[in-house]
Amino acid sequence: MSEQYDPEGSYDLMYESRKVGEVRHGLYYEGEWEVGSIEGDVFHYNRKPAGAVEGLTVSRYDQPNGPTVFQLVPKKHA
């Protein structure tokens, strides 16, 4: 069984092995700016539904030829 997104967790949002932002407790940040959120299985960007979350994969529907696919990587706490 694959890992599932935990709304209480903290994640790096990765695109092609590059960190593009962070998700902390359901809120999406780029740098220090809150720019989106994850509610249930819906990814919101700039307060509008922009994609879907399945497991630890975020698909953002921003391209006419298909979604941009990101990975949620759980942050390790020491």
pLDDT digit string (tens) for 11-26? 999 999 999 999 999 9
Q: What is the pTM of this model?
A: 0.90
| Residues 50/35/26/73 CA torsion (nearest 10 deg) | 80
Q: What is the pLDDT of residue 1?
A: 45
Distances (CA, A) of 34 to 4, 45, 53: 22, 9, 18
Please name every residue paired with 2 in a beta bridge, in sequence order, or none if there are none: none
